[in-house]
């Protein structure tokens, strides 16, 4: 019947789906550019001189928020929005679109009106039974969606512009035969192994290099232990610990928050009930009774309950719901809509302690007893006060951090020192320990920050802040320690550790070699036991790139495992933690014929992946070609955080 109804209303459904598709086009094809349609014209960010207005940002933010609200089915709250970073996510999308526009212009890409018209005429969403629906129908549907023809044309033009730019950048990219074969092997080859691992860690404690050995190693490989260039940064941290003491939340603010958002604290209606079920046999089912039999049995049970029988005891003995019978029929508590409609209606109509009449559902006949019921209500202020305090405090800390970041950035842009700018904001400057390129100081967990530090000169201050997991930081290079030849005292422990590890690895290799020799005669299980080791198996067939049990992963390990014939012992194989001996128990081998069948599809997929990676790298590089100016105060106003 549902299919018949869909066929009858096919054209209406197609139109509805078209509107959904169009909404996604407008959402994900960059937000429509502000054209002075009564929205705020204040600039929140400028990319190479192209502004993004507050109005445009607000429309894009609203659409993205609506998308997530539908995705999370009404469970989206302010904390989730913060975790998603929705405000920054939308802004970065708009910045990227401006970069695409600038790069398209730089590279001479233009989308003609004819190209837009062809896109409209050939797009599936504008077809009905393979025929173009016509301009009048498009106009009607746009009006239903609250959009204009100019909106549609603009969004399509931007989409085509991006596609043309992507095509130009990725034009020379093509996955090679070797890459295709590697990907095919990664997807299809699998092995199941038995193995014994000689872990180097078990030998470390028994190895103690002498002072002479350690110093000899140091002298022989002094350059290996060269101390790399290190840097020390001065930094101002904008995190919760720094900002919390400057934030105060009054009880009056908490009460106002509660009154403004009372519905957020609504507790849904809830019923707690038990039931006894007598099943009606469904088509092709083994269990159950005929409808008349089930009704008669259920009526007898209801009569017994009304005569005073114990509900829980009768449910354990007679209910045909295995999930609740052992619990005396107890179903726990549930809100409206959690049960099938017939059951739901009957349960919520009862008063606590009351029995229902027989209730027929698709499962059979029920007798329901309501234990308790909670009406829908808003939780009292006292009960949610501390929850509100945490939310309001978080919001104030975030806003204070943004304000201080803006003030610091402005002061640094005017030439103030980091110390002077921090002092004006009641903040302190701290110093990091010296760190090398590629290392990350514990407090400054940002790869981009570390990379920038090694591009700066001694005494240079970065004008913009860096985002951190716990907030943000502003930095200046306090000291540059040049690379130097090491002194013995600097690296003695490191040299000693290297000697211990090398000796432990060698002992593990020798153990694995002895193990293999024994395994040829005794089998892997007995050979492992003789060496006080354990034979193990991978739990199932395992593909390339996946951990091989507790052996881990590694190129040498993977190549050995996948090139080894079945039932053949491997030579000792280097594993991340030692040496191992392997035997393939089962193998899904390389299939050359299947590769040929899939080659074209795989090549297209890999090529598209490489092109996408190249385009992302291209856009990252484009950021260095154009100045990106942000206006934090305007951004906050666009979000309604500042009047």
pLDDT of 73: 67
pLDDT tens by residue, 299-344: 999 999 999 999 999 999 999 998 899 999 999 999 888 899 999 9
Domain end among 458, 481, 504 = 481
pLDDT of 150: 82
Q: How confident is the model at residue 40 (pLDDT cuts 50, 70, 90)?
A: low
- With 90 as the cut, is the pLDDT of residue 4 above it? no
Query: Does residue 18 sit in the same domain as residue 103?
Result: yes
- With 90 as the cut, is the pLDDT of residue 72 above it? no
Q: How confident is the model at residue 641 (pLDDT cuts 50, 70, 90)?
A: low
- For residues 499-504, average pLDDT: 97
Residue 293 is part of a domain; what is its CATH number? 3.10.50.40
Q: Is residue 176 part of a domain?
A: no
Q: Is residue 185 part of a domain?
A: no
Domain end among 481, 515, 534 = 481
Q: Is residue 601 part of a domain?
A: no
Query: Does residue 330 sit in the same domain as residue 396?
Result: no
pLDDT of 13: 34
Query: Does residue 328 sit in the same domain as residue 417?
Result: no
Query: Does residue 19 sit in the same domain as residue 155?
Result: yes
Assign residue 532 a region (left: φ > 0; alpha: ψ between -120 and 50; beta: otherwise). Answer: left
Q: How confident is the model at residue 640 (pLDDT cuts 50, 70, 90)?
A: confident
Query: Does residue 114 sit in the same domain as residue 40?
Result: yes
Computed over every residue of the chain, the mean pLDDT equals 88
Query: Does residue 493 sit in the same domain as residue 507?
Result: yes
Query: Does residue 141 sit in the same domain as residue 49?
Result: yes
Query: Does residue 520 sit in the same domain as residue 631?
Result: no
Domain total in the chain: 4
Assess contact for 453 and 477: CB atoms under 8 A: yes
Number of alpha carbons in the 13 Å side-chain half-sphere of residue 601? 6
Residue 27 is part of a domain; what is its CATH number? 1.10.4030
Q: How confident is the model at residue 39 (pLDDT cuts 50, 70, 90)?
A: very low
Those residues whose C-beta lies under 8 Å from the C-beta of residue 230, and which sit 6 or more positions away, are: 434, 435, 436, 480, 481
pLDDT of 386: 94
Domain end among 457, 481, 505 = 481
Q: How confident is the model at residue 121 (pLDDT cuts 50, 70, 90)?
A: confident
Strands 330-334 and 435-436: unpaired
Query: Does residue 456 sit in the same domain as residue 472?
Result: yes
Query: Does residue 49 sit in the same domain as residue 158?
Result: yes
Domain of 367 in residue numbering reads as 269-375
- For residues 157-161, average pLDDT: 89
Q: Is residue 496 part of a domain?
A: yes
pLDDT tens by residue, 189-235: 999 999 999 999 999 998 999 999 999 999 999 999 999 999 999 99
C-alpha dihedral over 335, 339, 345, 350, to 10 degrees?
-60
429 vs 38: which has the higher pLDDT: 429
- With 90 as the cut, is the pLDDT of residue 120 above it? no
Q: How confident is the model at residue 177 (pLDDT cuts 50, 70, 90)?
A: very high
Q: Is residue 616 part of a domain?
A: no
- With 90 as the cut, is the pLDDT of residue 454 above it? yes
H/E segment holding residue 275: strand 270-279
Q: Is residue 286 part of a domain?
A: yes
Q: Is residue 566 part of a domain?
A: yes
pLDDT tens by residue, 273-310: 999 999 999 876 678 899 999 999 999 999 999 999 99
Q: Is residue 581 part of a domain?
A: yes
Query: Does residue 467 sit in the same domain as residue 337?
Result: no
Query: Does residue 40 sit in the same domain as residue 153?
Result: yes
Tokens representing 531 are: 């060496």
Q: How confident is the model at residue 266 (pLDDT cuts 50, 70, 90)?
A: confident
Find the angle CA(111)-CA(113)-CA(114) to the nearest 5 degrees: 100
- For residues 407-415, average pLDDT: 92
H/E segment holding residue 578: strand 578-588
pTM (2 d.p.) = 0.58
Alpha-carbon Rg for the chain in angstroms: 35
Residue 496 is part of a domain; what is its CATH number? 3.10.50
């Amino acid at each position: 019947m549902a299919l018949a109804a869909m066929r009858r209303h096919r054209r209406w459904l197609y139109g509805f789906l078209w509107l959904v598709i169009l909404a996604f086009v407008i959402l994900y094809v960059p937000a429509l550019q502000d054209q002075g349609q009564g929205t705020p014209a204040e600039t929140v960010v400028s990319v190479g001189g192209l502004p993004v207005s507050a109005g445009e940002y607000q429309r894009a933010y609203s659409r993205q928020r609506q998308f997530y609200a539908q995705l999370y089915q009404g469970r989206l709250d302010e904390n989730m929005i913060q975790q998603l970073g929705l405000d920054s996510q939308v802004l970065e999308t708009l910045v990227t679109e401006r970069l695409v526009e600038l790069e398209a212009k730089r590279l001479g890409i233009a989308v003609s009106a004819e190209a837009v018209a062809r896109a409209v005429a050939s797009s599936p969403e504008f077809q009905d039974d393979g025929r173009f629906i016509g301009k009048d129908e498009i106009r009607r549907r746009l009006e239903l969606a609250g959009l204009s023809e100019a909106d549609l044309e603009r969004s399509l033009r931007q989409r085509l512009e991006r596609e043309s730019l992507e095509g130009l950048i990725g034009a020379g990219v093509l996955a090679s035969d070797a890459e295709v074969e590697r990907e095919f092997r990664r997807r299809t080859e699998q092995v199941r192994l038995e193995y014994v691992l000689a872990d180097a860690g078990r030998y470390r404690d028994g190895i103690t290099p002498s002072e002479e050995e350690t110093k000899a190693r140091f002298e022989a490989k002094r350059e290996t232990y060269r101390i790399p260039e290190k840097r020390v940064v001065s930094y101002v941290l904008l995190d919760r610990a720094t900002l919390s003491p400057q934030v105060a939340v009054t009880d009056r603010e908490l009460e106002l928050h509660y009154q403004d958002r009372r519905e957020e604290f609504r507790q849904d209606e809830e019923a707690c009930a038990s039931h006894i079920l007598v099943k009606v046999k469904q088509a092709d089912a083994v269990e159950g009774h005929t409808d008349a039999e089930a009704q008669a049995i259920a009526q007898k049970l209801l009569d017994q309950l009304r005569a005073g029988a114990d509900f829980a005891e009768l449910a354990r003995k007679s209910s045909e719901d295995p999930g609740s019978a052992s619990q005396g029929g107890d179903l726990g508590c549930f809100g409206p809509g959690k049960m099938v409609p017939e059951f739901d209606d009957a349960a919520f109509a009862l008063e606590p302690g009351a029995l229902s009449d027989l209730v027929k559902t698709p499962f059979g006949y029920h007798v329901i007893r309501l234990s308790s019921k909670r009406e829908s209500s808003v939780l009292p202020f006292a009960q949610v006060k501390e929850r509100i305090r945490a939310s309001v405090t978080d919001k104030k800390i975030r806003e204070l951090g943004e304000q201080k970041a803006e003030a610091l950035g402005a002061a640094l842009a005017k030439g103030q020192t980091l110390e002077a700018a921090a002092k004006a904001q009641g903040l302190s400057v701290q110093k990091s320990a010296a760190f090398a390129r590629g290392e990350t100081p514990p407090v400054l967990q940002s790869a981009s920050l570390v990379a920038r530090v090694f591009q700066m000169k001694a005494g240079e201050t970065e004008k913009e802040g860096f985002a951190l997991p716990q907030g943000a930081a502003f930095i200046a290079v306090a000291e540059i320690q040049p690379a130097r030849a090491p002194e013995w005292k600097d690296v003695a422990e490191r040299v000693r550790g290297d000697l211990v590890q090398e000796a432990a690895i060698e002992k593990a290799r020798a153990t694995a070699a002895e193990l293999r020799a024994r395994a040829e005669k005794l089998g892997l299980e007995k050979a492992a036991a003789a060496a006080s080791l354990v034979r193990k198996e991978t739990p199932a067939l395992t593909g390339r790139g996946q951990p091989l049990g507790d052996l881990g992963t590694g190129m040498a390990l993977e190549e050995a495992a996948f090139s080894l014939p079945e039932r053949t012992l491997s030579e000792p194989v280097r594993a991340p933690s030692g040496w191992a001996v392997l035997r393939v128990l089962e193998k899904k081998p390389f299939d050359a014929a299947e590769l040929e069948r899939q080659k074209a599809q795989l090549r297209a997929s890999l090529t598209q992946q490489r092109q996408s990676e190249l385009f992302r790298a291209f856009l990252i590089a484009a950021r260095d070609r154009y100045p990106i100016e942000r206006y934090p105060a305007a951004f906050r106003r666009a979000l309604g955080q500042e009047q």
